[in-house]
Amino acid sequence: MTSLQRSHHTNHLLAALAAGTLIVLGAGCGSSSDGESSATTAEATATTTAPAASSAELSEAEWREQANAICAETAPAIGEAFGAMDPTSPTPDQIENVVSTLVSVNRDTEARIDALAEPTALTDQVKALLDANEQATAAIEQQGPAALDTVDQLFAPVNELATELGLDACA
């Protein structure tokens, strides 16, 4: 593969990643990573506050509001990682930073949504959403940048379930 083909391929993968992930569009289910920003890489830190675990079941509206707020709050960390990347010729380190940030932020968001006391009527759907997100996140973690070829397919079930649950900030 020539460097031009590699560059085009990498840009295609990054575009797919941006379009396909739950997090990039202001959503997500994942974990934060501590890091520093620099001119060449940004390891985003999602400074989020997990809701206190509660045994009091939320109403559907309360649960949706809180879950959407979590997704909206964690999204900027992904934007920072993408923003630190050279848009025309990203380095392997920049691509790896995006991948690791996606995994980290997705896991943080997932844990925070899981900590919400969803209404019993939504338990099965929430479990399906979190399971689907974990599967997509694990695939990205295991495959690294190679997973970017199929990121749309990896996150399609997550986005569909989020939409069904009314989590617009997560889809």
Percent residues over pLDDT 70 in the chain:
68
44 pLDDT more than 60: no
- Residues recorded for the chain: 171
The confidence score (pLDDT) of residue 54 equals 54
- Can you tell me the mean pLDDT for 118-126? 97
The confidence score (pLDDT) of residue 10 equals 44
Q: Which of 12-21, 30-39, 99-108 is modeled with the greatest confidence? A: 99-108
Q: CA-based angle 135:136:139, to the nearest 5?
A: 85
Domain extents for the chain? 3-30+53-170
- Can you tell me the mean pLDDT for 44-63? 67
- Can you tell me the mean pLDDT for 135-155? 90
25-43: b (≥16 Cβ within 10 Å) or e: bbbbbbbbbebeeeeebbb
CA distance 140 to 70: 21
Of 129, 107, 101, 115, whose CA–CA distance to 35 is shortest?
A: 101
Of 111, 115, 110, 123, whose CA–CA distance to 51 is shortest?
A: 115
- Can you tell me the mean pLDDT for 103-110? 95
143 pLDDT more than 80: yes
162: confidence class by pLDDT, cuts 50, 70, 90: very high
Using alpha carbons, list the distances in angstroms from residue 138 to 60, 62, 79, 89, 143: 28, 29, 20, 26, 8
Q: CA-based angle 168:124:141, to the nearest 5?
A: 65
- Can you tell me the mean pLDDT for 61-76? 96
Using alpha carbons, list the distances in angstroms from residue 103 to 63, 118, 123, 140: 24, 24, 24, 7
**Mean pLDDT, the chain, whole residue set:** 77
Q: Which residue has the tokens 């309360």?
A: 62
- Can you tell me the mean pLDDT for 134-145? 95
**pTM for this predicted structure:** 0.71
6 pLDDT more than 70: no
Phi, psi torsion values for 30, nearest 5 degrees: -175, -160
Least confident segment among 24-28, 53-57, 69-73, 163-167: 24-28
